[in-house]
């Protein structure tokens, strides 16, 4: 902890010292330094535009907790950067209390996690940690790189008619940002000169047929129509390869992460710092520990029919001023000031904070804004609506001895999937992953064995991000409304996946077998008295978790009243304002949104710079 505090102070001073004399007006103001905003701000500065990047947290780029990818669980728990959002999965209070890791405030900065809280504990909800740090959530995640389905890109084309979003065109943005660190140079599907390093793990262990994990993997291959005799080759398949049938191919893969071969995380933090390092060439300014309280508009343009124009932002300066910060002290406020943009303001606060900022600025559903006496700048009913996420779950067991295996990654299609596309991303290994709560994960010892699952293409987009008040220091009211639409079908697909993975475990043999399953079917593997599909569906309905929030400021068609953005990320009905982050997606992009959002940021950079050149 001592190193963490010193590192944060040194990094903050370093950034501030380079840009001590911030001008009052910039060409562009970018709010949020995560996978959407961080690369965008760097790109704008590298294009010669005077750009201000505002980040509510500090800079932990030199801190091993964040820089070393192996420490990602510690990073997500660290109070240095953690913002706690306490969310709901449904409108049913009784259902919420059945979530095994529901969390309670027991006072003095302590928590109780579970279903039998001590007297006087205050129910908080389901923890959804976000990262307030230079680089955003790409600084505390597992760094998994996965591409969206082609249909996720093409959906924007279908909604807006903008053919620049066609999947075959979007690949170029991936190649522009990638610095591939695991394939020989010259692979036409990849990039080698970008700012984002990608690497893959050592899978040589898969050649040892005596390993328990190899026996399990062979069974996984057999159950999904792959050749079990070739698993050592299959597990080295490039998960980011370019294949026109990629979305329909069930295969084992080598997991790719945004990191270097040295295990160091690669993220927007690195790109921002590299841009700041050449201040004479790239006019980028970074303000850390700065909370944007609202976007400022000029509503008196001199033309009655002219839309309001974003002209800057109001900020509150200071550490831990937002109430999601566990270090926040009640009543603490910072000085408030205003900064102006001559061209545009771009909001990149993520799926929770971007809609909150828009609403606090007067852009959102009229009734909600008027409820809190916020002056309506633009009645835009879709702001904060349509919140979506991947459903995630796991099957967890204990072996009789530790399971000898590396990480097994597979993307596959269950038999009831509604399209020919794959619908489950799984990774299996000697770890536990059951969601998020203060202090996660539970360590079940050396014999733990898990297959974690991400459900691709959830049917329901029924969540919302609502204001609690007009106070910008308040956190919003977030409800995902899991399984509200198409829930039975989604649960069926998840249960099918669990059944297939459980079946593969039966091939483990001695000495790891017999497995004692902890959930969703407690008991000796294959002998649980209550392992019906219905019982498992009920388990996953109550215990599913998520950490890929998206779609709360979605791109949509001109005639869609719930559309917040056009295909160029422009907020509808106002000028000079865009949103560039995961909230812009019409659907959750594939299995992991971080790489798709960085690609989205690259496209937004191109669109914004093109518009600037036309002006």
Least confident of 16-30, 37-51, 279-293, 317-331: 16-30
Does 330 lie in the same domain as 379? yes
Residue 328 lies in a domain: yes
Does 276 lie in the same domain as 233? no
Residue 75 lies in a domain: no
Does 494 lie in the same domain as 452? yes
Does 530 lie in the same domain as 441? yes
Residue 361 lies in a domain: yes
Q: What is the mean pLDDT of residues 343-352?
A: 98
d(CA 521, CA 515): 11
> Exposure of 296 by Cβ count < 10 A (0-12 exposed, 13-18 middle, 19+ buried)?
middle
Annotated binding-site residues read 133, 141-144, 292
Does 382 lie in the same domain as 426? no
d(CA 525, CA 576): 58
> Exposure of 154 by Cβ count < 10 A (0-12 exposed, 13-18 middle, 19+ buried)?
middle
Residue 197 has pLDDT above 80, yes or no: yes
Does 305 lie in the same domain as 318? yes
What digits encode the pLDDT tens for the residues 158-177? 999 999 999 999 999 999 99
Residue 60 has pLDDT above 70, yes or no: yes
Does 302 lie in the same domain as 404? no
Which H or E element spans position 112? strand 110-113
CB proximity list for 24: less than 8 A, separation 6 or greater = 339, 340
Residue 415 lies in a domain: yes
Closest CA to 21 of 297, 316, 248, 283: 283
The predicted pLDDT at position 300 comes to 72
The last residue of one of the domains, among 512, 543, 574, is: 543
Closest CA to 26 of 245, 375, 340, 254: 340
Residue 568 lies in a domain: yes
Does 219 lie in the same domain as 354? no
Does 426 lie in the same domain as 539? yes
10 Å Cβ neighbour count for 506? Answer: 15
The predicted pLDDT at position 529 comes to 85
Residue 305 lies in a domain: yes
**Percent with pLDDT over 70 in the chain:** 95
d(CA 285, CA 339): 12
Residue 528 lies in a domain: yes
Residue 9 has pLDDT above 50, yes or no: no
Q: What is the mean pLDDT of residues 185-196?
A: 97
CATH code at position 493: 3.30.410.40
What digits encode the pLDDT tens for the residues 62-104? 999 999 999 999 999 999 999 999 999 999 999 999 999 999 9
d(CA 162, CA 566): 9
The last residue of one of the domains, among 543, 563, 596, is: 543
Q: How many domains does the chain have?
A: 2
Residue 356 lies in a domain: yes
Instruction: Place 467 in a pLDDT band, splitting at 50, 70 and 90.
Output: very high
Closest CA to 273 of 27, 496, 18: 18
Residue 423 has pLDDT above 90, yes or no: yes
Does 398 lie in the same domain as 381? no
The last residue of one of the domains, among 501, 526, 543, is: 543
Annotated binding-site residues for FAD read 133, 141-144, 292
Range of the domain at 419: 202-254+390-461+482-543
CATH code at position 30: 3.50.50.60
Does 273 lie in the same domain as 144? yes
Does 447 lie in the same domain as 395? yes
Q: Which residues does residue 104 pair with via DSSP β-bridges, in sequence order?
A: 112, 123
């Amino acid at each position: 902890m001592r190193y963490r505090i010193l590192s944060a102070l040194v990094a903050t001073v370093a950034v501030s010292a380079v840009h001590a004399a911030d001008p009052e007006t910039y060409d562009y103001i970018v709010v949020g330094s995560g996978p959407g905003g961080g690369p965008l701000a760097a790109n704008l500065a590298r294009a010669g535009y005077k750009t201000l990047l505002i980040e509510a947290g500090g800079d932990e780029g030199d801190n091993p907790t964040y820089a070393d990818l192996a420490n990602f669980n510690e990073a997500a728990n660290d109070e240095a950067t953690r913002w706690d959002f306490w969310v709901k999965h449904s409108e049913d209070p009784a259902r919420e209390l059945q979530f095994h890791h529901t969390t309670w405030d027991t006072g003095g900065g302590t928590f109780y996690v579970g279903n039998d809280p001590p007297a006087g504990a205050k129910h908080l909800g389901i923890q959804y940690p976000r990262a307030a740090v230079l680089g955003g959530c790409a600084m505390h995640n597992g760094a998994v790189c996965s591409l969206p389905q082609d249909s996720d890109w093409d959906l924007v084309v279908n909604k807006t008619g903008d053919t620049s979003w066609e999947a075959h065109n979007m690949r170029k943005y991936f190649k522009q940002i990638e610095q591939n660190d695991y394939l020989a140079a010259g692979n036409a599907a990849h990039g080698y000169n970008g700012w984002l390093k990608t690497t893959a793990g050592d899978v040589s262990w898969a050649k040892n047929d005596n390993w328990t994990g190899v026996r399990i993997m062979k069974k996984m291959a057999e159950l999904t129509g792959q050749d079990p005799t070739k698993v050592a080759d299959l597990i080295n398949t490039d998960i980011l390869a370019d294949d026109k049938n990629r979305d329909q191919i069930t295969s084992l893969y080598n997991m790719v992460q945004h990191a270097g071969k040295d295990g160091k995380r690669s993220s927007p933090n690195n790109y921002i710092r590299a841009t700041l390092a050449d201040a004479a060439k790239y006019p980028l300014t970074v303000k850390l520990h700065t909370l944007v309280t609202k976007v400022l508009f000029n509503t008196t343009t001199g033309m009655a029919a002219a839309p309001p124009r974003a002209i800057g932002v109001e900020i509150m300066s200071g550490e831990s001023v937002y109430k999601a910060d566990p270090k926040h002290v009640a009543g603490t406020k910072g000085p408030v000031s205003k900064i102006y943009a001559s061209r545009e303001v771009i909001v990149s606060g993520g799926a929770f904070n971007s809609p909150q900022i828009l609403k606090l600025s007067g852009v959102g559903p009229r009734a909600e804004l008027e409820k809190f006496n916020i002056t309506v700048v633009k009645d835009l009913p879709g702001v904060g609506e349509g919140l979506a996420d991947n459903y995630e779950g796991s099957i967890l067991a204990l072996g009789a001895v530790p399971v000898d295996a590396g990480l097994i990654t597979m993307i596959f299609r269950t038999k009831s999937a509604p399209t020919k596309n794959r619908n489950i991303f799984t990774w299996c290994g000697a770890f536990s992953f059951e969601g998020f709560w203060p202090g996660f994960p539970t360590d079940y010892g050396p014999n733990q064995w898990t297959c974690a699952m991400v459900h691709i293409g959830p049917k329901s987009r029924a969540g919302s991000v609502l204001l609690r008040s007009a106070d910008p220091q308040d956190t919003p009211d977030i409800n995902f409304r899991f399984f509200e639409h198409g829930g039975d079908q989604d649960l069926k697909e998840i249960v099918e996946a669990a059944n297939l993975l459980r079946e593969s475990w039966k091939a483990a043999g001695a000495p790891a077998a017999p497995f004692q399953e902890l959930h969703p079917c407690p008991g000796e593997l294959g002998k649980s008295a209550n392992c019906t599909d219905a019982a498992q569906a009920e388990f996953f309905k109550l215990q599913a978790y998520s950490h890929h929030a998206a779609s709360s400021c979605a791109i949509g068609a001109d005639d869609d009243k719930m559309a917040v953005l056009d295909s160029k990320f422009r907020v509808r009905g106002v000028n000079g304002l865009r949103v560039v982050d995961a909230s812009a997606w019409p659907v959750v992009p594939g299995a992991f949104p971080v790489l798709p959002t960085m690609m989205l940021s690259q496209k937004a950079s191109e669109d914004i710079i093109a518009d600037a050149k036309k002006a």
